[in-house]
Homo-oligomer: A and B are copies of this chain.
Amino acid sequence: MEIKNIKNKAEREIPEYIEGYGEVKPYAGPFATEPTGRKYAPLKSFSRPGDSKILSSIKEAVEKCEIKDGMTISFHHHLRNGDYVLNMVIDEIAKLGIKNLNLVCSSLTKAHEPLIEHIRNGVVTGINTSGLRGEIAKEISKNNILGRPVVFRTHGGRARAIEAGELKIDVAFIAAPACDRMGNMNGTEGKSAFGAMGYPMVDAQYAEKVVAITDNLMPFPLKKISIPMTQTDYVVEVESIGDPEQIATGATRITKNPQELLIAEKASEVLTASGYIKNGFSFQAGSGGASLAVCKYLKEYMNENNIKGSFAAGGITATMVELLEEGYFEALLDTQSFDSAAAESMIKNPTHIEMSASMYANPYNKGCSAHQLDVMILSATEIDVNYNINSLTGSTGIIMGALGGAPDTAAGAKLTVVVAPTMRKRIPIVTDRVTTVVTPGETVDVLVTERGICVNPKRTELIEILTAAGIPLKTIEELKEEVEKLTGVPEKFSTSDTVVAVVEYRDGTVIDVVRQAK
């Protein structure tokens, strides 16, 4: 049977059926696909007085949970590059001879490269994640070692898919920096504290079985409870769940790069001219140097003009904590803490509020933080003349990034500003057509680069306001031409027809696919 392609609302040709994924619901616009029906119903459970949840090892947990070939197990990446839990668990599962696992990860990092062997050996044959980088990503992109498409979801989309029962988790393994004998957990106490526990808060609610893995077994009851004992089946104590020093690597520091600072400064000019920066405004800046640097300039402006924001959200960093503690914002809404300062702040600042990934960004509940945003700052690997953003694949077609919460917050924010240099290593960022659409152009308003500022033509009123404020604008086509004069037009890479990754939009429709790089 021939499989037809369909063109979705992001102008992407997608097979209507993808082997190893299934029927494709094409992306139809940021709020075009409404849900029907009911959420997934978790199992009823049972507890007796005197029950003990403590198990002696991960192996025992795998056995008690009756993990079998073909099951779906979940992990979270709050420990980022320092996570030990995923590898420890999969190693034990592999030793028991179990195959064909489907992983539901909130994201995968460099720490998880041992997965490559488990994929090659058939232990892992399915991956759901928000991001994929390094060697695993290369092996999948080039050599299709998984043999089945990775499914990429946004942070909100993952929460939605779990709640909808599209992702049915058999066993959730949760790295718990603090845990009591009944499985009350938090992420803020102990030697491996990482802060907010936004992702597994969803897993714990819907998984058939929940295993807390902790290196800090505390007296019952835990005082701060992020995931309650009502959801936890077993508790395993291990020596270490990870190295929290490895959390704040990569994209979570404010840049010192002069070009990025220039971009950030221009972006903050756009923000202030836009009219959105006023008392009570809300704000989120994604990870990425320039994105975080915007906060620095924003703070100066807020200080000079005596402006106090309502909340900042994210992905919370030391920069955001500073803004909270110095009174620039009333509150932080945090689903994942990006550094130790953020993790510590959750303990000491009662206005630093932990939220689940569902409360952060799931479009299919009764309200989420992402939809309450005034201003969102994003970074991008590529942006095209339709303002579509790619943050997942390189210009060679190799997977090397993540969706994160960008599509969620871009859809929600009143003003979405992309900050990016016009080129990286002489590869232009502005293209005719991004390699992969992650965040659709209709949810992106402004591009700020070191060579100029472009506004999405659909935002006519914003063009007027910025022009009136004396901010010089270019069309994105003009900017592209200008850059290409310097860099040349990069050659297109070629791919096979094999789909190695499906990119779901937050509502579960397919916005793009990644094909195997040649």
Question: Which chain A residues have a beta carbon within 8 Å of chain B's beta carbons?
Answer: 31, 34-51, 53, 163-164, 182-183, 210, 219-221, 223-225, 228-233, 280, 310-311, 330-331, 333, 350-351, 353, 355-356, 358-359, 362-369, 371-373, 411-414
Contact = CB atoms under 8 A, between A and B. Distances in A.
B46 A353 contact: no
Contact of A372 (B49, B311, B362): B49
17 contacts: A35-B46, A40-B41, A44-B163, A46-B364, A47-B363, A49-B371, A50-B371, A221-B310, A223-B351, A228-B355, A228-B356, A229-B359, A229-B367, A230-B366, A230-B367, A231-B365, A232-B366
Interface centre among A48, A164, A232, A350 (most CB of B within 10 A): A48
Given A223-B351, A351-B223, A367 B35 contact: no
A412 B50 CA distance: 9
Contact of A223 (B44, B229, B350, B355): B350
A44 B39 contact: yes
A340 to B, nearest CB: 21
Given A331-B221, A371-B51, A366 B183 contact: yes
A23 B414 CA distance: 54
A359 B224 contact: no
B46 A38 contact: no
Given A330-B219, A362-B230, A366-B229, A44 B37 contact: yes
Contacts of A45: 35, 364-366
Between A38, A45, A183, the greatest number of chain B beta carbons within 10 A of the residue's beta carbon is seen for A45
Contacts of A373: 49
Given A42-B38, A220-B310, A310-B220, A365 B225 contact: no
Contacts of A280: 219
Contacts of A414: 49
Given A41-B41, A230-B359, A311-B221, A47 B368 contact: yes
Contacts of A331: 221, 223
B366 A411 contact: no
